[in-house]
Amino acid sequence: MIPNLKGKLKNLSSSSLSSKESNTILENPTLDCGTVKEESSEDIQNRTIENPNNFGGQLITSPDGSFVKKRILYGTDAFYGSTSLAKLFAWDFSNSQWWTRLDQDFNPKDIVFLDTETTGLSGGSGTYAFLVGLGYITDEGLVVEQYLMRDFDEEYPMLQSVIDTLKNYQVLVTFNGKSFDWPLMESRLIYSRLKPLHWENTHLDLLHISRRIWANYLESCSLSSIEENILGNVRHNDIPGSMIPKAYWDYLDTREADEMERIIKHNELDIVAMAALLLHISKLFLDPIAIASGDTSQLIRDASQLLGIARELERNDRIMEAAECYEACIRSAPNRSLKIEAKKRIAYMKKRHEGPGEAMDLWLDLADEQGSMLLFPFIEMAKYFEHKSKDFQNALDCTDKAIQMTKMRSTSSNLLEDLLKRRRRLIRKLGRGNKQWG
């Protein structure tokens, strides 16, 4: 299964007897990485072997085996797409618990970004993480470290080094990592008899936040879609994630490095994209109205963004800020559906927090929409007229309108039955009132 296993074991044995050497990890500056500086390697037994299969990185060897480690530094002047990474290095996350949903606030140097490339897309016990990318922040900038196993016998030392690095950080940031990357890493660590770390309350999955903000705007909330449509970055010659497992199996058969180099670059850019996305989302939650681009071609994006952020503010009982975002969305939205959704949300919020009377102007506004076939304003007004203002005639008129629209729309029979029941009750109340004044 493993080519030239005897040779590898022989090399491993001889390397374990060699004396300890110190080295400098190769830096690989990429476009827009900013300043790149060399730093010394980890204080472990290692040596650099010039080999095209090192992929521009360093071959780390120890008594447990070998793997390739590559290190890139994105300096403090680096950009990713239209996003400058400079502010990330000193960003204040002290008031972030409400939107991160973590148990603690944190600072940038507490964060480690993680992304894996795997031998399969479905997870499970037979899937390996053959490439693990980590990103963390230093005084010099964003460091991207990549740990590569070039064959299955290199998994244990690679995972051991990854876990040693992860131990230094308090907050794990991923994209879809709660469902895929970290569960896979946990299973591989357990199979390798290494103790996994526990991130239950300190794992920030940017996919979940992105969906809450942009689900109404983007057809897909994949990282590549967010990069292109939100961060303003388009990758060139990038390998699609769906092709990566096959490309790795082909590499094991042929040892041709071209596709592996594309995979390594893909993983590197995923890490940097997560850093840029975290900064962008943090800016949005700090001041969502001010960050709107003002570009007329981006009005739908900006309005959808405001709606998503307003919902998140509302969930966290930040009512005044939520109302401001809903109102900004209503003012700026170029299409009717966004305006209606924002009006609906702010009306329900006012009903819940200030009382149903405060929402009546919005219900009336929604009911008067030209060509409107909206049921909920008439239902809400009928409730208010019946139970609060005791205006049974207006309540009956709203109910009749809702019944008419329900029949036209072939809505569920349960809703129609509820409306008919309300109508019968209102007629009885009107009858009693007429007798009383008889």
The pTM is what?
A: 0.83
Read off the pLDDT of residues 182-195 as tens digits, 9 standing for 90 and up.
999 999 999 999 99
Cβ within 8 Å of residue 99, ≥6 positions away: 209, 281, 285, 312, 316
Q: Between these two residues, 37 and 90, which has the higher pLDDT value?
A: 90
How much is the pLDDT for 294? 62
Question: What average pLDDT does this structure show over 70-76?
Answer: 95
How much is the pLDDT for 413? 80
Read off the pLDDT of residues 394-418 as tens digits, 9 standing for 90 and up.
999 999 999 998 888 877 788 999 9
How much is the pLDDT for 142? 97
Taking 90 as the threshold, does the pLDDT of residue 39 lie above it?
A: no
The listed CATH number (1.20.140, 1.25.40, 1.20.1290, 1.10.3470) that belongs to domain 287-354? 1.25.40
How much is the pLDDT for 374? 87
How much is the pLDDT for 343? 93
Question: What is the overall mean pLDDT for the chain?
Answer: 86
- CB 151, CB 86: distance < 8 Å: no
Taking 50 as the threshold, does the pLDDT of residue 115 lie above it?
A: yes
Find residue 172's DSSP bridge partners.
112, 203
Q: Do domains 5-286 and 287-354 have the same CATH topology?
A: no
Taking 70 as the threshold, does the pLDDT of residue 40 lie above it?
A: no
How much is the pLDDT for 75? 94
Residue 41: how many other CB atoms lie within 10 Å: 17
Question: Three-class SS of residue 95?
Answer: coil
- What is the rounded distance in angstroms from the CA atom of residue 136 to the CA atom of residue 127? 26
- CB 170, CB 112: distance < 8 Å: no
CATH of domain 5-286: 3.30.420.10
How many angstroms separate the Cα of 234 from the Cα of each of 117, 224, 268?
Answer: 20, 8, 15
Taking 90 as the threshold, does the pLDDT of residue 131 lie above it?
A: yes
Binned at pLDDT 50, 70 and 90, residue 4 comes out as: low
How much is the pLDDT for 15? 44
Question: What average pLDDT does this structure show over 55-77?
Answer: 94
Read off the pLDDT of residues 194-219 as tens digits, 9 standing for 90 and up.
998 999 899 999 999 999 999 989 99
Residue ranges of domains in the chain: 5-286, 287-354, 362-438
Q: Which of 246-250, 355-359, 410-414 has the lowest mean pLDDT?
A: 410-414
Single-letter amino acid code for the residue at 120? G
Taking 70 as the threshold, does the pLDDT of residue 242 lie above it?
A: yes
Binned at pLDDT 50, 70 and 90, residue 425 comes out as: very high
The string of DSSP codes covering 341-359 is: HHHHHHHHHHHHHH-GGGG
Read off the pLDDT of residues 96-105 as tens digits, 9 standing for 90 and up.
999 999 988 8
